[in-house]
Structure 1
Amino acid sequence: MGQLVAGHGVASGRAADSPYPAGTISLQTPLFAAVGIDLSPYQPATLNLDFSPGEWRLRDPDQRVEQLHWSDRHPPETFSFWRCWLEPLDARLAAVGALIYYPHPETKQAHHQPAGLLELLAPPLGALSPGDRFRLWVDGRRCRLIQPARLRARLLEFLKFRVLAAQDAFFAEGVQGLRPWLQLHWPEACDLSDHDLELTLEQARFLYTESSPPPRP
């Protein structure tokens, strides 16, 4: 379940200090059309849905555009799109086909989004307000909402007897060694970020080895 939150106002052009008065979506739409991505059914603005404390893991998009040069104000950006269904909890509104709109953060200079927030392109839905709630129907093989805190707790328990047996030797290769090992033994844990894996290793060392510094909070 996602909750509508206010965005930066740049996609729509509503922000008073936006350098793009028409909005970034309006500027990008003809460029996407030129490579076969039709955004004309959608409102030229994004809906920002917050799913925190969950975090999204996205892969294998329906469409991807590499290095789109849509503005002279910053370098080209890469964009990916996933088809989805957006269902407002307001019974007066019907579910609609929508797109997950994902400017890749590694190519984006500003207005980064937290991992629990998705930007969506949808047809006009009428008056909406921050706090409105939506269900999002996606292909779960390619768009997964994970709960990092729960997954870290499960991983910590999974590591317990392995660390008790190996002690400090288990940590010799750090996160870079842990990730391929997890891919073999428990692939689900690979959804965790390197930062989360590091925190879990620190906690495992503190709890399950004979001498170690306390973990970071």
Structure 2
Amino acid sequence: MNPEWLTGRLCAGHGVASGTSKESPYPDGTIRMQFPVFKGLGLDLSSCYFGTLNLDFAPLEVSLTNPDHLFEKVQWTELHPPETFSFWRVEIKTTEIEVVSGWIYYPHPETKERHWQPPTTVELLAPHLSGVDPGCTISLRDQRRRIKLVDTIRLRARLLEFLKFRVLASQQTFFEADALMNRRQWLSTMFPEALQLSELDLDLVWTQARSLYTES
């Protein structure tokens, strides 16, 4: 059974990747500058347009795992510290008859100084596509099923409820034990769905559980 198409809405970007922003320090666009660097690392993106498509799935957040390529601490300009990039090969569909191959382009936010994307948005690299404007819908599909859309607010609430009776029964010893055990390892057995949450989201839930369910 083929994986499902995930449909989002095209939104306007910062104009830095393409170089269209007048405030950008990269008049040629960051993508044009980065392509030769990525090619030297083994990823040829010459079939792609010098810019990104920003696809938004709000209110759902995008969870990505196991990239096809991971390039760490890439020095692509003197104007920015080295960045880490991940890429996922995907199919991109703009109409029922137009399907092209492209990439999810993910500059890791922890190595990025500015122009971050919200967790509901992915940036796509693709051949030049006609008839796409902000507000139109675009679908993508990953044959390896590494892309998940997560209702983060609801999942955090469910995890908090799951922790409730465990914390009430154990009080602070629950958190002491948690410090000794890898949290994700524990969740993989007890509540594997929560592994879709980021470390920041897990920290928020743990903090809430401590505040709500332990005696002061």
The equivalences for 1:1-217 within 5 A come to 1-88=7-94, 90-91=95-96, 94-139=98-143, 141-172=145-176, 178-205=183-210, 208=213, 211=215
Give 1:137 deviation, angstroms. 0.5
Change (3 A) 1:201 1:68: closer
Matched residues in 2 for 1:64 and 1:162: separation? 38
Unaligned runs of 5+ in 2: 1-6
Deviations 1:19-78 (A, max 9, x none): 222111111112222222111111110000111222222222112222222111112222
Per the normalisation by structure 1, the TM-score is 0.84
Stretches of 4+ aligned residues off by more than 3 angstroms = 171-180, 201-209
Letter in 2 for 1:28: Q
Give 1:203 deviation, angstroms. 4.3
Is the Cα–Cα contact under 8 Å of residues 48 and 119 in structure 1 kept in the other structure?
yes
Deviations 1:109-143 (A, max 9, x none): 22111111100001111132111112210245433
Q: How many residues align?
A: 209
Is the Cα–Cα contact under 8 Å of residues 175 and 197 in structure 1 kept in the other structure?
no
Give the SS at the match of 1:120.
strand
Identity percentage of aligned residues: 52
Is the Cα–Cα contact under 8 Å of residues 175 and 198 in structure 1 kept in the other structure?
no
Matched residues in 1 for 2:28 and 2:210: separation? 53
Per the normalisation by structure 2, the TM-score is 0.84
Is the Cα–Cα contact under 8 Å of residues 64 and 80 in structure 1 kept in the other structure?
yes
Matched residues in 1 for 2:117 and 2:15: separation? 13
- Give the root-mean-square deviation of aligned CA atoms: 2.4
Change (3 A) 1:159 1:135: same
Farther-moved stretch of structure 1 (174-183 vs 189-198)? 174-183
Is the Cα–Cα contact under 8 Å of residues 52 and 117 in structure 1 kept in the other structure?
yes
Matched residues in 2 for 1:176 and 1:8: separation? 43
Matched residues in 1 for 2:138 and 2:166: separation? 42
Give the SS at the match of 1:101.
strand
Deviations 1:56-103 (A, max 9, x none): 222221122222221111122221111001112x44x51211100111
Unaligned runs of 5+ in 1: 213-217
Matched residues in 2 for 1:160 and 1:64: separation? 38
Give the SS at the match of 2:26.
coil
Deviations 1:153-189 (A, max 9, x none): 2213322332343244323456785444223322221
